[in-house]
Amino acid sequence: MTAHTDDINVAINTTVNMDDKRIDPTAETVETIDQSLGGKDKAARLLQEAGHTVVVTPHDNKRILRKIDLAILPIILVIYCLQSLDKTALSYASVFGLIKDASLHGEEYSWLGAIVYVAQLVWQPVIAYMLVKLPIGKFCGIMVFCWGATLCGMSAARDFGGLMAARFLLGTFEASVAPTFIALVQMWYRRSEQTNRNAAWYSMLGVVNILGSLLSYGLAHIQSSLLHPYQIIFLFCGLLTVCFSVVVFIFLPDSPMTARFLKGDDKLIAIERLRMNQMGVSSGVWRWDHVRECLLDPKTWIWFSLLMAISIPSGGISTFGPLIVKSFGFSSFATILFNMPFGAVQLVATLGGAWAATRWRAKSPILAFFCLPPIIGISILLNIEHDKSNRGVLLFAYYMTSVYPAISPLIYSWSGQNTAGDTKRKMTTAVLFIGASAGNILGPHLYTPAEAPRYRRGLLSNLILFIIIILLVGLGALYVKFLNKRHAAARERMGKSAHVVDLSMQDSSTLAKHDGTLNDAETAGVGEHAFDDLTDLKNVDFIYVY
């Protein structure tokens, strides 16, 4: 049977027998299968329990993808919007008197920006373990509630010690958010769909810089004899987060195998469309051999270095960005309003970069390209006097620099699309976020209020780092090309075709042109180990993306 496909991973060359017994897989079914087939992904166990083969038609694929988007994306978009709002609340608070009212001196404000990432760095290995072992939807809901409650409590802090304690707890609970989202995207989407979904939730940073600026502008105008403007901001954002945590706990599904919005064979189709990812879905088993491979894999450390290199400027600019704009000679309220276009540039760059990477099925050229605008912008900021007469040029340079947030989601996607094996995926994400946290800790300390208005040390170090990122991207691209050649040689030795079309990265129009080749790929053995919980280095059918 030949299946013409549109946005699918595989069509199996056996017609579905409509008389076969259909099942509606439940959490209990998955748990029962779990006991009988060790060493396999839960998806493989569920497919075996189903007792019949599954053909993913173009109509079914579009229908299931639409259901997944409607069930998953709105929740994670709002969560990341809230997290971004909570994190940037500190920078807005600095404009409205936090430094003076809390009697912050020296680098104390910088430490308030950094301490969140100290907590995230410490907790990443634990988060990786929890994402493998715990129901991911319920875990996420609890973490969202805890960080919202912490932010509410932060409104009571009136000195450096209280603010530091609250910010550390905030970082502890927020440490799970982005790794959880990466795990969700890997669990639900084909590789060709992942970049745009990762960019979608990460682009909420831009939305927050637009709406958060307006929100802070409005909240700061509230007159209160009991609370400072920054305390009102903390309390409002915290209560909003606590309320939404209830929605997350109830409606965010734990996996395709147990999702309530998928009925009957829809669960099987949701799994089968992921076969050619060669990444599996969820195993529930922590494997130390995966951890070892992650730590010995050179590309893990290339991506670690990339995330740390981009997080240093990110940590500094996100914490000191409004203060940089204020140094151009604007009032506090004008500073907040002029920070809004910064968010618009972030939003367009993040979504545009994801579209380009998906269109050309390559991350490395887009990553290198997005380093150029910040290099230009920082160069201008370093060489133009920060005074009222140069406001226009300085704002232009600042907005050029704001392209940098588009880089991080591309690195997450590049890493995620090139890593297989449930534990290895989660552990690799943890290592990456340790790098990101380290960068965000260091970043604010390259800037100090005493260096205003030029912030020369911070800007110069950021300029050097963007050049280093370009070099690291080139190294990463060369290495994954080498791995593809090694896998091709291994397939040839096994009697398989050395050249395999990576169906998981093909777009709709390309897949529609195939006439029978999808079945040929399956009968040739490509995809037979997709749900065996193999790592990318162990599965010779795995195709790396450069």
Structure tokens at 412: 């997450």
Q: What is the CA radius of gyration of the chain?
A: 24
Amino acid at residue number 408: S
Going through 301-340 in order, the beta strands assigned E by DSSP cover: none
Contact 279, 126 (CB under 8 A): no
Check: CB of residue 247 under 8 Å from CB of residue 499: no
* Coil, helix or strand at residue 373: helix
Q: Is the pLDDT of residue 419 over 80?
A: yes
pLDDT at site 437: 93
What's the pLDDT tens digit per position in 65-124? 999 999 999 999 999 999 888 767 777 777 777 888 888 887 788 788 788 889 999 999
144, 128, 114: which is closest to 179 by C-alpha? 128
CA distances from 338 to 89, 322, 333, 454 (A): 16, 9, 9, 18
pLDDT digits (tens, 9 = 90+) for 372-396: 999 999 999 999 888 788 888 988 9
| pLDDT of amino acid 493 | 92
Could you name the CATH architecture of 60-483?
Answer: Up-down Bundle (1.20)
Say which DSSP state 16 is in. -
Sorted by sequence, the CB contacts under 8 Å of residue 456 that are 6+ apart come out as: 382
Write the CA distances from 160 to 83, 101, 104, 115, 539, integer angstroms: 22, 10, 6, 12, 51
What's the pLDDT tens digit per position in 316-331? Answer: 787 677 778 877 888 7
User: Token pair of 492, please?
Assistant: 């040839």
425-467 pLDDT, tens digit per residue, is: 999 999 999 999 999 888 877 887 778 778 889 999 999 999 9
pLDDT digits (tens, 9 = 90+) for 236-247: 889 999 999 999
Task: State the Cα–Cα distance between residues 104 and 126, nearest whole angstrom.
Answer: 32
